[in-house]
């Protein structure tokens, strides 16, 4: 009886605490869970503070991050100040377990009981508390037959040829662009890099956000770990995405940006069809990649929405402002980071009762964010939308479509049959079917298997690689420049322009106030044509593929490239030059227009006597940007050669003029070096 009385007293006190302290602080969904549960129930929550207290000094950011911000004129601001340490300490004293601290959001994510949440809400510093989102990863698609290549370009793309050619990435490769010096972050399930196509991938930073090591140290292993991951299924998706962008195995698979500098973040669990995924891991990964590592691009396949067995986001919340993952990607954009996210897939389930021809059920945040590239899916052979309804009317796996919820408005008073839609999602579209590295070993234990499957995830990784090529060619571009160039070059641009010229573009029946929840079933099965100047435009394609499939060459030439690679193997300008005798040595950057199995640099005196030979061995095509200032500031995937100003016997060379001669097996190139003693 005493225990019952004590429990009743606790519940009464808890109820009183909520009545006083939780006024307008708890999100409705969290409030309902707590009210209907027990004081000991554990919840994952974000705790938002009202201010940051007294001004503090700004944190030291990665130099590349500062340079990236400078390109768009973004200075350090209030959002970059650290969260007030006193606020964090008060949260810790409630007994809640702190998981992630976010300066951009001025918030911390916690693991807390209902009773602890009551204490959190009672803190004057706390502005609001909301539940961490629930995630469901799209089901894994089956392996599809791989078609052999029908032609052999200068690089042998093997079965990845179709996906590479779709956006003319192969032609950009032929011009010498391969992503060198550009930092590309992939946020996914994990990355196994022992596959034959990934052995040469340059990874400059990686972190597993799913766990913290003893002592609070971050886990820097993102591959399969037997003590953490149940099967290789945990890491297959991330491995595939990395290979689509960064793989390199001539004759089998070549990624769209195979010489980029990759940053890897393991944030997403893969444990069957349904599971919880903490949105805070994603927030932490975005901030880490942007500020601590200085990424240029973020590519992810994250998708939050509503499901029958979890807390849901409604369609009306697909507005780019509600979910934290959308907010944090827009925050990254404001700091000069280009972000891409897959739009989502339809009917990616084995449950026949959940099949749908309504694409709006799969527009998943953060693809609704306002300043990111949301990527839809098309078939590479036809550039037609990957329709979730087959030709005979059956429901099949397909690419999701838009629009975002906040772009829907009622038209003139008295009209209930029209919608006015002006914020387009997806922004662009890319190859729906992609060839990628499969991370599980074959019968001999070798990691050299490949697979082909469908989904907007692969389309996003492929397009992120194209973006890396454009940033390599245009080092001064910011996110807006890349987005404008891709839209300008899109295959569906003329339809979008026609769409913007028509006041009423979509006839539908709207739902009831306030959500409306329009019925977009017609987008999946019908067409809405508009004819102008004898040309018929299918306006529904705007919601399906946005501006369409980018043309990499047109996007490259949107403005004149600042970085034009040589049209042949070339030794670039050495630095420092002149080199003083007490300097450490001279760097010898170079550019290769094609792979070479033997790169050699020989140093000669003016009378033709060789004093040193540098055997660099096998090197991939591509290198640093050709401008000296960029060579000094960027770490590219092709390290420059280095001469320590010594001869073959290890003795310092005399002062004077020397000739550096590079041979690659294809041609040779030379530069002069002055040594001062």
For 451-484, write each residue's pLDDT tens digit. Answer: 999 999 999 999 999 999 999 999 999 999 999 9
Instruction: Judge whether residue 158 has pLDDT over 80.
Output: yes
- Average pLDDT rounded to a whole number, residues 124-137: 79
3-class secondary structure, 634? coil
User: Where does the pLDDT of residue 257 fall: very low under 50, low under 70, confident under 90, or very high at 90 and above?
Assistant: very high
- What are residue 657's DSSP bridge partners? 674
User: Tokens 């389309």 belong to which residue?
Assistant: 459
- Domain limits, the chain: 2-131, 158-388+397-405+420-489+549-556, 570-676
Give the lowest-confidence range in 302-316, 327-341, 355-369, 409-423. 409-423
User: Where does the pLDDT of residue 360 fall: very low under 50, low under 70, confident under 90, or very high at 90 and above?
Assistant: low
**Whether the Cβ atoms of residue 256 and residue 245 lie closer than 8 Å to each other:** yes
DSSP 660: E
Across all residues in the chain, what is the average pLDDT? Answer: 83
Q: Name 21's Cβ contacts closer than 8 Å, sequence gap at least 6.
A: 118, 119, 121, 122
CATH classification (class only), 158-388+397-405+420-489+549-556:
alpha beta
> What does the pLDDT read at residue 667?
80
Burial-class residue 651 by CB neighbours within 10 Å (0-12, 13-18, 19+): exposed
pLDDT in tens, 426-460: 999 999 999 999 998 888 888 899 999 999 999 99
Instruction: Judge whether residue 661 has pLDDT over 60.
Output: yes
> What does the pLDDT read at residue 200?
87
pLDDT in tens, 612-630: 999 988 887 765 433 333 3
Return d(Cα 384, Cα 400) in angstroms, integer. Answer: 13
Instruction: Judge whether residue 545 has pLDDT over 50.
Output: yes
> What does the pLDDT read at residue 509?
52
Q: Which of 172-181, 374-383, 526-535 has the highest mean pLDDT?
A: 374-383
State how beta strands 202-212 and 261-266 pair: parallel
- Looking at domain 2-131, which CATH architecture does it have? 2-Layer Sandwich (3.30)
DSSP 525-579: H---EEEETTEEEETHHHHHHTT-S--HHHHHTTS--S----SS-EE---BSSSE
pLDDT, greater one: 673 or 627: 673
User: Where does the pLDDT of residue 54 fall: very low under 50, low under 70, confident under 90, or very high at 90 and above?
Assistant: confident
Among 221, 224, 258, smallest CA distance to 242 is for 258
Q: How many residues comprise the chain? A: 677
Return d(Cα 374, Cα 371) in angstroms, integer. Answer: 9
Return d(Cα 184, Cα 261) in angstroms, integer. Answer: 6
Return d(Cα 304, Cα 324) in angstroms, integer. Answer: 10
- Average pLDDT rounded to a whole number, residues 619-647: 60
Please calculate the CA angle 613-617-621 and round it to the nearest 5 degrees: 120
Return d(Cα 323, Cα 337) in angstroms, integer. Answer: 19
Instruction: Give percent of the chain above pLDDT 90.
Output: 48
Q: Is the pTM of this model over 0.85?
A: no
CATH of region 570-676, choose from 3.40.50.300, 2.60.40.4070, 3.90.420.10, 1.10.540.10: 2.60.40.4070
Return d(Cα 587, Cα 342) in angstroms, integer. Answer: 41
Instruction: Judge whether residue 662 has pLDDT over 60.
Output: yes
User: Where does the pLDDT of residue 302 fall: very low under 50, low under 70, confident under 90, or very high at 90 and above?
Assistant: confident
pLDDT, greater one: 166 or 79: 166
Q: Name 576's Cβ contacts closer than 8 Å, sequence gap at least 6.
A: 583, 586
Instruction: Judge whether residue 594 has pLDDT over 80.
Output: no
> What does the pLDDT read at residue 279?
82
Q: Name 443's Cβ contacts closer than 8 Å, sequence gap at least 6.
A: none
Instruction: Judge whether residue 549 has pLDDT over 90.
Output: yes
Q: Name 416's Cβ contacts closer than 8 Å, sequence gap at least 6.
A: 410, 509, 510
User: Where does the pLDDT of residue 329 fall: very low under 50, low under 70, confident under 90, or very high at 90 and above?
Assistant: very high
Return d(Cα 452, Cα 443) in angstroms, integer. Answer: 19
Instruction: Judge whether residue 547 has pLDDT over 90.
Output: yes
Among 510, 507, 518, 524, smallest CA distance to 357 is for 524
pLDDT, greater one: 260 or 359: 260
Instruction: Give percent of the chain above pLDDT 70.
Output: 82
pLDDT, greater one: 650 or 632: 650
pLDDT, greater one: 54 or 478: 478
pLDDT, greater one: 361 or 279: 279
Instruction: Judge whether residue 114 has pLDDT over 80.
Output: yes
């Amino acid at each position: 009886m005493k225990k019952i009385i004590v429990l009743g007293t606790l519940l009464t006190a808890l109820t009183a605490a909520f009545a006083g302290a939780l006024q307008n602080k708890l999100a409705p969904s969290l409030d309902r869970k707590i009210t209907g549960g027990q004081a000991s129930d554990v919840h994952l929550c974000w705790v938002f503070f009202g201010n940051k207290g007294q001004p503090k000094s700004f944190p030291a950011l990665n130099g590349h991050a500062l340079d990236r911000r400078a390109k768009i004129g973004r200075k350090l601001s209030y959002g970059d100040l650290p969260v007030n340490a006193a606020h964090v300490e008060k949260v810790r004293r409630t007994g809640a377990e702190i998981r992630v601290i976010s300066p951009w959001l001025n918030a911390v994510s916690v693991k807390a009981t209902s009773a602890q949440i009551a204490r959190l809400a009672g803190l004057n510093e706390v502005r609001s508390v909301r539940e961490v989102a629930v995630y469901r990863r799209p089901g894994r698609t089956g392996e599809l037959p791989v078609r052999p290549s029908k032609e052999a370009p200068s690089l042998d793309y093997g079965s990845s040829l179709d996906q590479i050619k779709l956006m003319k990435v192969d032609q950009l490769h032929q011009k010498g662009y391969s992503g060198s010096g550009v930092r590309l972050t992939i946020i996914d399930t994990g990355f196994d890099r022992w596959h034959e196509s990934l052995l040469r991938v340059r990874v400059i930073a990686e972190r597993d956000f799913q766990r913290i090591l003893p002592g609070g140290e971050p886990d820097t292993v993102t591959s399969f770990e037997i003590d953490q991951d149940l099967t290789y299924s945990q890491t297959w998706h991330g491995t595939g995405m990395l290979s689509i962008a960064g793989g390199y195995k001539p004759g089998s698979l070549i990624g769209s940006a195979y010489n980029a500098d990759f940053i890897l973040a393991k944030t997403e669990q893969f444990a069957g069809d349904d599971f919880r995924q903490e949105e805070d891991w994603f927030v932490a990964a975005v901030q880490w990649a942007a500020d601590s590592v200085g990424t240029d691009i973020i590519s992810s396949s994250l998708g939050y929405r509503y499901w029958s067995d979890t807390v849901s986001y409604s369609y009306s919340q697909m507005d780019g402002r509600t979910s934290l993952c959308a907010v944090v990607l827009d925050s990254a954009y404001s700091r000069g980071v280009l972000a891409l996210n897959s739009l989502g897939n339809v009917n990616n389930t084995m449950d026949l009762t959940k099949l749908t021809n309504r694409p709006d059920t799969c527009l998943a945040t953060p693809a609704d964010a306002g300043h990111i590239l949301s990527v839809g899916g098309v078939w590479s052979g036809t550039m037609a939308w990957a329709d979730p309804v087959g030709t005979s009317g059956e429901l099949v796996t397909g690419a999701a479509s838009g629009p975002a919820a906040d772009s829907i408005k009622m038209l003139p008073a008295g009209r209930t049959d029209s919608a006015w839609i002006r914020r387009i999602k997806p922004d662009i579209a890319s190859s729906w079917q992609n060839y990628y590295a499969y991370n599980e070993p074959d019968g001999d234990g070798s990691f050299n298997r490949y697979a082909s499957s469908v989904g907007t995830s692969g389309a996003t990784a492929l397009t992120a690689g194209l973006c890396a090529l454009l940033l390599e060619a245009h080092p001064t571009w910011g996110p807006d420049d890349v987005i404008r160039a891709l839209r300008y070059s899109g295959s569906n641009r003329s339809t979008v322009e026609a769409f913007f010229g028509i006041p009423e573009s979509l006839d539908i029946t709207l739902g009831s106030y306030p959500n409306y929840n329009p019925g977009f079933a017609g987008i999946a099965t019908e067409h809405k044509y508009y004819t102008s100047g004898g040309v018929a435009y299918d306006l529904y394609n705007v919601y399906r593929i946005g501006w369409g499939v980018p043309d990499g060459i047109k996007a490259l030439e949107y403005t004149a490239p600042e970085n034009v690679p040589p049209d042949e193997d070339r030794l670039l300008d050495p630095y420092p030059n002149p080199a003083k005798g007490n300097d450490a040595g001279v760097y010898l950057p170079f550019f290769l227009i094609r792979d070479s199995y033997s790169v050699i640099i020989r140093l000669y005196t003016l009378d033709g006597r060789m004093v040193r030979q540098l055997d660099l061995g096998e090197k991939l095509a591509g290198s640093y940007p050709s401008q000296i200032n960029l060579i000094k500031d960027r770490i590219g995937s092709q390290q420059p050669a280095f001469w320590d100003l010594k001869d073959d016997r290890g003795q310092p060379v005399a002062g004077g003029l020397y000739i550096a001669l590079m041979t690659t097996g294809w041609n040779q190139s030379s530069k002069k070096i002055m040594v001062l003693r």
